[in-house]
Amino acid sequence: MTTAAPPAAPGAPVPRAPHPGLFISFEGGDGVGKTTQIAALAEHLRARGVEHLVTREPGGTELGAQIRGLLLDGGHVAPRAEALLYAADRAHHVETRVRPALARGAVVLTDRYLDSSVAYQGAARSLGAREVRELSLWATGGLIPDLTILLDADPALARQRTSSRGRADRLEREGAAFRAALREQFLALAAAEPQRFRLIDADQGVPEVTADVVRAVEPLLAARESAQGAARGGGERP
C-alpha cells in the first residue's frame, strides 16, 4: 500500500517588501472551489469600487499559458523539471503582472502562488519543501502574499467536484495518496505561518465559504483604505 509522505517543514517567513497594493493568494487542492471564491471576492471588490486584478498560476500571462499547456495538458514531466517550469512561470508572472498592479495600489487575487509549489512539488513530489520554496522566492525576488486564503476540503469531496468538470488534467488524475500528502502539506504551511494564512472550511456551501472569505479580507481592505487616506491627507499639508 502506498503511504503519503509526511509534510515537510516550510522555510522561515520572509520580510515583505512594502507596496501600496494588496496581494492575496488562494490555495488548496484541486476541486476546493478557488475559482468560484476568487470570482465572488472580485465581485465584492467591484461593488466597493476597488481596483483589482484576477490572475492565476500557471497561465496568468501569454508565456504562462504556454507553460500551463506543457505542465497540465501534456505527458509526463520529471518532478524537478516540473518545479522549474512552475518557477519560470511565477518569475515572469510576478515581474510583468503582479508587481506592476501592486505598485499602482491594486488588489491582486491569484489562483495559486508559491505555496502550491511547496505543497505539490516540495512535499507530494518529495523534492523538499524548503528547496522548492527558496526556488520560488528567488524567482519572485522574495514577494510574499499579504494574505493567503487556504480552502480546505475533504480530498474525496474535492475529487468528486473535479470529476464533474469532464476531462481531468495531469495533476487532477493523481491518486488518493498524492492528494492526502498535498492536503497535509497545505495544513502544515498554514500552521507554520498563521499570521499570513486564513484556513477556511471548503466543505461548506458556496455562500458560507464566500462569507468566510470576505470576513478574512475585510480587515486588510480597511487597513489599506486607511493608509491611502492618510497618505492623501499628508500630501495636502503645506
Q: Is 96 annotated as a binding residue?
A: no
The cell for 190 is 498554514
Binding site annotation covers 108? no
Q: Which residues of 29-55 are buried (b: 16+ CB within 10 A; e: fewer)?
A: bbbbbbeebbebbbebbeeeebebbbb
In the predicted structure, residue 235 carries a pLDDT above the cut 80: no
Q: Tell me: the pLDDT tens digits for 150-163?
A: 999 988 776 676 65
Q: How far is CA 174 from CA 71, 85, 177, 238, in A?
A: 13, 19, 8, 62
Q: Which has the minimum average pLDDT: 3-7, 104-108, 126-130?
A: 3-7
Which of 35-44, 119-128, 133-142, 199-208 comes out lowest in average pLDDT? 119-128
Task: Please indicate if the annotation marks 146 as binding a ligand.
Answer: no
Residue 31 in marked binding region: yes
Q: What is the pTM of this model?
A: 0.85
Q: Is 74 annotated as a binding residue?
A: no
Is 21 labeled as ligand-binding? no
pLDDT higher than 50, residue 6: no
- Mean pLDDT score of the chain, rounded to an integer? 86
Q: Is residue 85 scored above 90 in pLDDT? A: yes
The CATH fold of domain 22-225? Rossmann fold (3.40.50)
Q: Is 77 annotated as a binding residue?
A: no
